[in-house]
Amino acid sequence: MSATSSSIALLPLTARPLRCRNCGAERGPAPVAICELCLGPLDPVYDAGRALPDAETIRRRAPSLWRYKEWLPFDGDPVWSLDTGFTPLVEAPALARRLGVARVWVKNDTVSHPSLSFKDRVVAAAINAAAAFGLETIGCASTGNLANAVAAHAARAGLKAWIFIPEELEQGKIIGTSVYGARLVRVRGTYDDVNRLCAQVADHFGWGIVNVNLRGYYGEGSKTVAYEIAEQLGWRLPTAVVAPMAGGSLLTKLRKGFGEFLDAGLIHGQPPRLYGAQAAGCAPIVRLLERGGSALEPEVPRTICRSLAIGNPADGLFAARAMHETGGWGAAVSDAELVQGVRLLAEDVGVFGETAAGVTAAGALALARAGRLRADDEVVLCITGHGLKTLEAVLDAVPEAPVIAPRLRDLIPLVEERS
Amino acid sequence: MSVTVNLPSVLAAHTGGARTIQANGRTLGEAVADLAARYPTLAPRLRDDQGKPYPFVNFYLNDEDVRFRGGFAAPVQDGDEVTVIPAIAGG
């Protein structure tokens, strides 16, 4: 068979043009995330007249985030990371009883492919932007999950990866990056220090730093969480969504994603109230929401939840607006509460999430206790990363397993005692 | 006091291509005012209408976010390094 013969004709991949969210200035597709006029964030511009698929067409497509490709920032066919997305939406009745609401589902991105966090979604978008621009090196500033995702996706695509993380990070996040052969650099300081360096790295080397100069394209990948929730609920909306916040982008993209499906007529009704959760030791977005106004006050993170430890979140203001304008709110939980959150998610739902998952679960509990959730609510919790990545956080919080000889007579008293 | 100011490439169009510039002042705000006077089109990209730091850039004084040091009121010393970074990045 000829190597060129194929029943599927692929259309060449190109990236969409960009428009400034602040001043409205437009520019052509480029690995640039900042408006050159006002330095505001650039978002991809979609062709309002493009043909959109109906629910039945989407249902027949492969179970990946590319089933929603008309809402992703490209023309033509994606070339890399074709199998990312479409993670399970798991109903959690025990958690619903605990929260005192009608129904709860967990959007389970702990089993996201290939790197076990929702960051696979944004990297799937970013790496195709890199392909469209012919970039051979990608990179990121990361608190861990993004590092894992960039390393894994780059390895599969055969790209070089330069990845920058704070010096102090969980072992799973470090090894789960370097194992892919990525150039991993640990930077003395917090994530915010790493991020500042990466802004200069993108400027200096011209690499595709996914969350710096590819950020406009990268961020759009997060919208697919909203699309999947709507489809997996049977083309309808939950009344509330609780998600973790680090940079705050996920909250804004959930809002955009639900809004786009409403605009397309794929779903109907009221957009869900959006709730954001942070660790109390790094909660600049929750505090901005509580304080009001538009001036985010950066914080120096002090929490075991390293994946959310961004003290100067780029989308903080936009996330606070998303919560406020949808009728949602924010919650900040202690490190002890987040560890309990990890355990209750595991015990109630059978999902082992990382520290950010604990923040989300504990945040939902705190919101329920504060009367923010209603008895008739249908709530989705966005669980964004796998617990095996942050074993250190729960090491002392799980019961120790007894050790016995391989004899039934040793086991029987143990069973009687523990039944 | 003379400080060195590092600008991102997106702002170099307003300084004739220069990315590293000397500025004078006793505080960060005075050093920024000095730059604003010399490069009029750079000015609105460093300060807003009220003279506060422009929200789409962050200022770092010797690697520290100046919001932890009093913002434009932060005193500067001879030889200090000020770095301007676009605010929308990361996460």
- The pLDDT score that the predictor gives to residue A418 is 84
Check pLDDT > 70 for residue B4. Answer: yes
pLDDT tens digits, A217-240: 999 999 999 999 999 999 999 999
A348 touches chain B (CB under 8 A): no
pLDDT tens digits, B55-78: 999 999 999 999 999 999 999 999
Contact call for residues A72 and A127 (beta carbons, < 8 A): no
Q: pLDDT band at residue A77, thresholds of 50, 70 and 90?
A: very high
Q: A408: Cβ–Cβ under 8 A, 6 or more apart, which residues?
A: none
pLDDT tens digits, A52-73: 999 999 999 999 999 999 999 9
Q: A254: Cβ–Cβ under 8 A, 6 or more apart, which residues?
A: A222, A223, A225, A226, A241, A243, A274, A322, A382
Alpha-carbon gap: B91 to the closest alpha carbon of chain A (Å) = 4
The nearest alpha carbon in chain A to B59 belongs to A196
As a whole number of angstroms, the distance between CA A315 and CA B88 comes to 7
Q: pLDDT band at residue A352, thresholds of 50, 70 and 90?
A: very high
Contact call for residues A105 and A239 (beta carbons, < 8 A): no
Chain A residues lying within 8 Å of B88, measured CB to CB: 33-34, 39-41, 215, 314
Residues 3-22 of B with CB under 8 A from A: 8-11, 13
Q: What is the amino acid identity at position A10? A: L
Q: pLDDT band at residue A9, thresholds of 50, 70 and 90?
A: confident
Residues 128-167 of A with CB under 8 A from B: 141
Burial of A213 (0-12, 13-18, 19+ CB in 10 A): buried
- The pLDDT score that the predictor gives to residue A397 is 94
CA distances from residue A22 to A25, A39, A108, A321, B55 in whole angstroms, order as listed? 8, 8, 33, 15, 11
- The pLDDT score that the predictor gives to residue A158 is 97
Q: Averaged over A199-224, what is the pLDDT? A: 97
Residues 43-72 of B with CB under 8 A from A: 45, 54-58, 60, 63, 65, 67-68
The pTM for the full model equals 0.96
Alpha-carbon gap: B83 to the closest alpha carbon of chain A (Å) = 10
Alpha-carbon gap: B2 to the closest alpha carbon of chain A (Å) = 23
Q: In what order do the strands lie in the sheet with A160-166?
A: A183-187, A160-166, A137-141, A208-209
Arithmetic mean of pLDDT over chain A:
96
Check pLDDT > 90 for residue A98. Answer: yes
Domains within chain A, CATH numbers bracketed? 14-75 (no CATH), 89-115+222-394 (3.40.50.1100), 119-218 (3.40.50.1100)
In chain A, the percentage of residues whose pLDDT exceeds 70 is: 98
Q: Averaged over A115-131, what is the pLDDT? A: 98
The nearest alpha carbon in chain B to A295 belongs to B55
Rg for chain B, CA atoms, rounded: 12
- The pLDDT score that the predictor gives to residue A5 is 44
Q: pLDDT band at residue A419, thresholds of 50, 70 and 90?
A: confident
As a whole number of angstroms, the distance between CA A158 and CA A221 comes to 21
Give the number of C-alpha atoms closer than 13 A to the C-alpha of residue A235, restricted to the C-beta side: 11
Chain A residues lying within 8 Å of B13, measured CB to CB: 36
Chain B residues lying within 8 Å of A321, measured CB to CB: none
pLDDT tens digits, A248-278: 999 999 999 999 999 999 999 999 999 999 9
Residue of A114, A181, A170 lying closest to A142 (CA atoms):
A170
Check pLDDT > 60 for residue A1. Answer: no
- The pLDDT score that the predictor gives to residue A8 is 66
Check pLDDT > 70 for residue B79. Answer: yes
- The pLDDT score that the predictor gives to residue A42 is 97
Contact call for residues A69 and A78 (beta carbons, < 8 A): yes
Contact call for residues A217 and A125 (beta carbons, < 8 A): yes
Q: Averaged over A303-317, what is the pLDDT? A: 97
Chain B residues lying within 8 Å of A189, measured CB to CB: 63
Instruction: Among B56, B63, B65, select the one facing A40 at the smallest CB separation.
Output: B56
As a whole number of angstroms, the distance between CA A419 and CA A229 comes to 39
Domain assignments of chain B as residue spans, ordered by start: 2-86
The nearest alpha carbon in chain B to A313 belongs to B91
Residue of A154, A135, A143 lying closest to A214 (CA atoms):
A135
Alpha-carbon gap: B31 to the closest alpha carbon of chain A (Å) = 21
Check pLDDT > 80 for residue A6. Answer: no
Residue of A263, A262, A317, A250 lying closest to A287 (CA atoms):
A317
Instruction: Among A39, A196, A310, select the one facing B60 at the smallest CB separation.
Output: A196
Q: Averaged over A196-222, what is the pLDDT? A: 97
pLDDT tens digits, A156-176: 999 999 999 999 999 999 999
The nearest alpha carbon in chain B to A188 belongs to B63
Contact call for residues A335 and A305 (beta carbons, < 8 A): yes
In chain A, the percentage of residues whose pLDDT exceeds 90 is: 97
Chain A residues lying within 8 Å of B90, measured CB to CB: 141, 191-192, 195, 198-199, 211-212, 247, 310, 313-314
Tell me the CATH number for domain B2-86.
Answer: 3.10.20.30
Check pLDDT > 70 for residue A215. Answer: yes
Contact call for residues B71 and B82 (beta carbons, < 8 A): no
